Structure 1
Amino acid sequence: MPSYTAPVNDIQFVLHTLLKASAQDIPGYDELEADFTAAVLEEAGKIASNVIAPLNEVGDKEGCVLENGVVRTPTGFKDAFEQMKEGGWTALDCDPDYGGQGMPVILGTAVGELFSAANQAFTMYQGLTHGAYSAIHAHGTDAQKAKWLPKMVSCEWTGTMNLTEPHCGTDLGLMRTKAVPQEDGSFKVTGQKIFISAGDHDMSDNVIHLVLAKIPGGPDGIKGVSLFIVPKYLVDEDGKVGASNGVSVGKLEEKMGIHGNSTCVMNFDDATGYLLGQEHKGMRAMFTMMNEARLGVAMQGMAQAEAAYQNAVIYAKDRLQGRAVTGTENPDGPADPLIVHPDIRRNLMDQKSFIEGARAFMLWGANLLDKSHRSGDAQAEGLVSLLTPVLKGFLTDKGLEMTVQAQQVYGGHGYIEDSGMSQFVRDARITQIYEGANGVQALDLVGRKLAAEGGKPIMGFFEMIKSFIKENEGDEALKKDFLDPLKAASKDLQAAGMFFMQNGMTNPNAALSGSYDFMHLFGHACLGLMWAQMGLAANEALASGIGDARFYETKLATGCYYMARQLPATALHLARIQSGAEPVMSLPAEAF
């Protein structure tokens, strides 16, 4: 069975050496002292390693079962969920007015990585609840928040989001679920939703569904969509759970991965629902949940890569195969360990350099969310909106790729279920699909986000890189290993943006054909910026003589690898973008 150890030291490095969290002028950040965050992460790491990681394989093999209309979760899930609730982990970054602990998003994201790496399917139950909580918190009335949020914060009641229908996925304007107004101000919701994660289970007393539906007589298409709170069981004025509410599970989906999470077909049959936000403005409310979820999914992709990498390293050090080409390194054994071989080192360095760069990018994204929400920083809001599709698309694409590379270290044993490596691959695969497939993330990035606010956020990003390079160009070691590669990547990104500006209006296909490459080019540039900043932070830490010198030296070597071996991919992506639409669109549809 695979093992998992929380990478507390690396998270602490990002929080304090790189981002200097406790020194930032953001409400609540003064509490994020290194000793405090270390204590939180250590405790979360114990639960991740000792409680939920051992259930990862159990959930994968047992899956969920639908019995008499109720979903039964795998053995041990319910007890583990109770431990999560009792420890307050479901309420870490929720509003204290509703029973939360009020911690910043950055700490909730860091802790979320540990839980997702240990057991993604299990952690999704509270993750979906947090998304539903956020939507109600942002758009609900005071009465709605008082009624629903306290028990969602504690996860006595869990939550979901219901968007997709059998005939419409991304194009939500085609939905057929309807909500008919009632005299008491409620609505009767009727329709079917599919692919609903955590749609039903036996770990909470109620499930609070957020459901997109159309009110008859409203505008056509997406402009006519509204959002409704539809509980599995009705709740009276005193907050007590009562009768069933016309909500049922049609079936459980059989999936490639995340078997421990109940992915349901949900049927709503004249179920009582309550409008959340304004009529016909459902997408505005839903995107509160979606944007948070997309950062969460980015984290899932990176977290699965981390868990897979940890086990690949253990295997590479233990498995004896062949001899090092430069001479025997294990003279007392019949062969040398795998890790002596350059191609295994390349494989592991690909993983390590991606994961550590991705972690910094993810926590920086969470930091920007905190700046936006807690400080009202409009510049941070614009930047994190621009970066959200990059975080989601790039980190999940590369996250899956890294789980495959970790599996490859095992050779044939990685393909055998007993090793547990296949589960990381299968679980990571969904991250590229749900909460907006990655192709849609790329289209959103190029079609909407680049031009947002007249291009102010993307120009701000370029200025951030330019300023960082200018401030540090006198450091020769940093310049050669980090700043020069970053400058080249930034130029590639700017050239790609210029190509879209020059060709996008006259030939939209030219821009959209290059959108996926642009998302990856942008992702590499972001990790390049993270690694350059981490290189500077590690050098400063070494110069101070405080802390673990070997840790900082390892950080520098890992960063140099990314800048030398991975960041040059920006040139490849630029060449693809500049080839335009012709290679992509030349074949007529009937030729496929």
Structure 2
Amino acid sequence: MPIYQAPVKDTLFVLNEVLGFERYSNLPGFADASGDMLEAILGEAGKLAENVIQPTNRDGDVEGCTRNADATVKTPKSFKPAYDAYREGGWMGLAIPAEHGGQGLPYSVNQAVSEYFISANMALMMYPGLTHGAIAAIHVHGSDEQKATWLPKMVEGVWTGTMNLTEPHCGTDLGLLRTKAVPDGKGAYKISGQKIFISAGEHDMSENIVHLVLARAEGSPDGIKGISLFIVPKFILDADGNPGTRNGVSCGSIEEKMGIHGNATCVMNYDEAEGYLIGEINGGMKAMFTMMNEARLGVAAQGLALSEVAYQNAVSYAKERLQGRSLTGPKAPDKKADPIIVHPDIRRNLMTMKAFNEGGRAFMLWTALKSDIAHRSGDNADRQEAEDHLALMTPVAKGVLTDKGFEHAVMAQQVFGGHGYIEEHGMSQFVRDARIAMIYEGANGIQALDLVGRKLGQNGGRAVQHFFKEVGDFCEENRSDEKMAPFTKALKKGLNDLQAATLWLMQNGMKNPDDAGAASTDYMHLFGLVSLGYMWAKMAKVAQARLAEGANGTADFYEGKLVTARYFMERIMPETAAHLARISSGSASMMALPAEAF
């Protein structure tokens, strides 16, 4: 059976030693998550993930969800007790403002513990995950009355939420949306239409489900300019604010999926369901992006989380599985064969996953910390820089972490050989579950186009220029440090490739949009490599400093960081050159064949 141990020590290293978490104690919520308290929060989250949530993962995959005759949905039997433990522990409202019933802790802390919970059971954690997106939209765009009505129970986890965007004929192109909203003359709307791929659309783990639905109000223009966002609850609230009459919304069917079987991915039917406008009429796209940005960072965490749990299981297997002898002579002469961890190709797989996971964790927490600064800082310049960073890095985090998360789940499966293809070992589930993260909340090709087509040129390229300067300054500041040379030289080479690719896009992308489109995915991954490389260089600098101070009995930890950092720079960072070569080749060969030739 699969195993999992929350990487609490590594998270604390990133937050405290690399990102300097204590420097932000002046921001709201940070004083409540400092020192021992931060360690206690992460430790308790780790215990819940390991002991309560992880044991439900295989159950959920095997049992799945069942649609009942009355259009309700039964979730796997182990899910509700685990969800209740999560809810009762207050984890749902960890980073939600106190005025809505939350604890107001930093978002970066919430993102850290989310990794643990997702590694333990991704399908289960999608139920509160979608609720967080709905909470964010209501918090930012809802009226005071709507916030008071819906948020406390959602933050408590007694009610859950969804995001209803996709329709059978329209996914990314929401301008084609057909779901309609007709005023009922009493201040509400009647919502009619069908939505598909709705995660957590119907289930038995909460008292009410608060659907956030994109629809076109009667008389609104065609296209995305005529879309509005509505709150459409499963149960209409009574005079006391409790779930009352069943609304005109139901689950038509549950999608038969490759993975995340424990999550009810539903076709949702709206038959003149009562709904309430959020924000302004025809302002739905703005509200939608509030949900989507929240969701995309959550999905980025899914990519990292699946890579981490798959890696942990691959390491455990590689240490135990005996097969063949080391190329340099037996390492376990008392046994008939050596454990496969002695073989270079197995090491290649394990080191690649390890380097990605630890670098990706730092990248994710760095980005989450920028979210805290953007939403909590009183300094306008700091807030603007953080907002720029978030806008630039959200597509990179979502696209790169999920692409690599799936790739590494497959890589971990390969370590198991034939046993990785057998369900009882659990590796197949990691692969199947990780695959969806590359698709939903904006397929990764869309993330790449968003990065190249919108984010690079936003505000005159202010965000990307700031990133170039920050990484370049770090390399320059450490140029004379010989011990840092293996890290800064490789990082600088990667940065040079990224800058060259950016210049190429500026010179060619506007003249021929196909060139920008053809370059987009390579550019996104090139950007991701430099971002992770920057994190590894910063981690290496900290590790060297701690070792110079004596490391206080933890030398093995810091020496491991330096070895892994060197591996990243030597074996992974050189891929920037290949990405640059593909980008610079343009789109001619990609677009030359007529459609009939395929």
TM bucket, shorter chain: over 0.9
Which residue in the other structure is 1:16 paired with?
A: 16
Which residue in the other structure is 1:317 paired with?
A: 319
- The match for 1:306 among 302, 305, 308 is 308
SS at match of 2:92: helix
| Matches for 1:181-580 after TM superposition, within 5 Å | 181-375=183-377, 377-479=383-485, 481-547=486-552, 548-580=554-586
Q: Give yes or no for contact 1:229–1:275 (8 Å, CA) kept in 2.
A: yes
Inter-partner Cα distance in structure 1 for 2:82 and 2:475: 47
Which string of whole-angstrom CA distances, capped at 9 and with x for unpartnered residues, describes residues 341-388 of structure 1?
111111100000000000000000100101101115011101110110
Quote the offset at 1:545 in angstroms: 1.9
Quote the offset at 1:30 in angstroms: 3.0
Inter-partner Cα distance in structure 2 for 1:98 and 1:354: 36
Inter-partner Cα distance in structure 2 for 1:302 and 1:86: 26
| Structure 2 residue ranges without an equivalent (≥5) | none
- The match for 2:161 among 159, 162, 165 is 159
Q: Give yes or no for contact 1:23–1:30 (8 Å, CA) kept in 2.
A: no
Inter-partner Cα distance in structure 2 for 1:190 and 1:356: 46
Inter-partner Cα distance in structure 1 for 2:203 and 2:87: 16
Which string of whole-angstrom CA distances, capped at 9 and with x for unpartnered residues, describes residues 506-537 of structure 1?
11111111001000000001001110111111
Inter-partner Cα distance in structure 2 for 1:269 and 1:28: 43
Inter-partner Cα distance in structure 1 for 2:518 and 2:27: 40
Inter-partner Cα distance in structure 1 for 2:358 and 2:498: 22
Quote the offset at 1:8 in angstroms: 0.5
Inter-partner Cα distance in structure 1 for 2:375 and 2:192: 35
Inter-partner Cα distance in structure 2 for 1:34 and 1:556: 25
Q: Normalising to structure 1: TM-score of the pair?
A: 0.99
Inter-partner Cα distance in structure 2 for 1:90 and 1:33: 20
Which residue in the other structure is 2:130 paired with?
A: 128
Q: Give yes or no for contact 1:321–1:335 (8 Å, CA) kept in 2.
A: yes
Inter-partner Cα distance in structure 2 for 1:191 and 1:144: 23
Inter-partner Cα distance in structure 1 for 2:170 and 2:421: 35
Inter-partner Cα distance in structure 1 for 2:206 and 2:582: 49
Inter-partner Cα distance in structure 1 for 2:191 and 2:152: 24
Inter-partner Cα distance in structure 2 for 1:31 and 1:566: 38
Inter-partner Cα distance in structure 2 for 1:570 and 1:235: 55
Q: Normalising to structure 2: TM-score of the pair?
A: 0.98
Matched-pair identity in %: 60
Inter-partner Cα distance in structure 2 for 1:583 and 1:533: 39
Which residue in the other structure is 2:46 paired with?
A: 45
Quote the offset at 1:31 in angstroms: 3.0
Quote the offset at 1:181 in angstroms: 1.2
Inter-partner Cα distance in structure 2 for 1:343 and 1:165: 45
Which residue in the other structure is 2:60 paired with?
A: 59
Which string of whole-angstrom CA distances, capped at 9 and with x for unpartnered residues, describes residues 142-198 of structure 1?
000000000000111000000000000000000100001121111100000000000
Inter-partner Cα distance in structure 2 for 1:27 and 1:466: 31
Instruction: Give the aligned residue type for 1:378.
Output: Q
Inter-partner Cα distance in structure 1 for 2:511 and 2:347: 47
Inter-partner Cα distance in structure 2 for 1:453 and 1:378: 11
Which string of whole-angstrom CA distances, capped at 9 and with x for unpartnered residues, describes residues 176-229 of structure 1?
000011211111000000000000100000000000000121121011100000
Inter-partner Cα distance in structure 1 for 2:295 and 2:216: 23
Inter-partner Cα distance in structure 2 for 1:151 and 1:545: 50
SS at match of 1:434: coil
Inter-partner Cα distance in structure 2 for 1:512 and 1:543: 47
Inter-partner Cα distance in structure 2 for 1:28 and 1:223: 37
SS at match of 1:380: helix
Quote the offset at 1:576 in angstroms: 0.3
Which string of whole-angstrom CA distances, capped at 9 and with x for unpartnered residues, describes residues 308-327 of structure 1?
00000000000000011111
SS at match of 2:172: coil
SS at match of 1:274: strand
SS at match of 1:258: coil
Inter-partner Cα distance in structure 2 for 1:184 and 1:474: 71
SS at match of 1:432: coil
SS at match of 2:338: coil
Inter-partner Cα distance in structure 1 for 2:134 and 2:211: 8
| Structure 1 residue ranges without an equivalent (≥5) | none
Q: Give yes or no for contact 1:22–1:31 (8 Å, CA) kept in 2.
A: no
Inter-partner Cα distance in structure 1 for 2:112 and 2:163: 23
Quote the offset at 1:32 in angstroms: 2.8
Inter-partner Cα distance in structure 2 for 1:297 and 1:34: 28
Inter-partner Cα distance in structure 1 for 2:100 and 2:33: 22
Which string of whole-angstrom CA distances, capped at 9 and with x for unpartnered residues, describes residues 380-438 of structure 1?
10111011000000000011111111000000000111111000000000000000000
Inter-partner Cα distance in structure 1 for 2:331 and 2:172: 54
Instruction: Give the aligned residue type for 1:450.
Output: L
Q: Give yes or no for contact 1:228–1:273 (8 Å, CA) kept in 2.
A: yes
Inter-partner Cα distance in structure 2 for 1:358 and 1:50: 25
Inter-partner Cα distance in structure 2 for 1:294 and 1:124: 12
Inter-partner Cα distance in structure 2 for 1:238 and 1:467: 59
Instruction: Give the aligned residue type for 1:55.
Output: T
Inter-partner Cα distance in structure 1 for 2:487 and 2:92: 39
Quote the offset at 1:292 in angstroms: 0.9
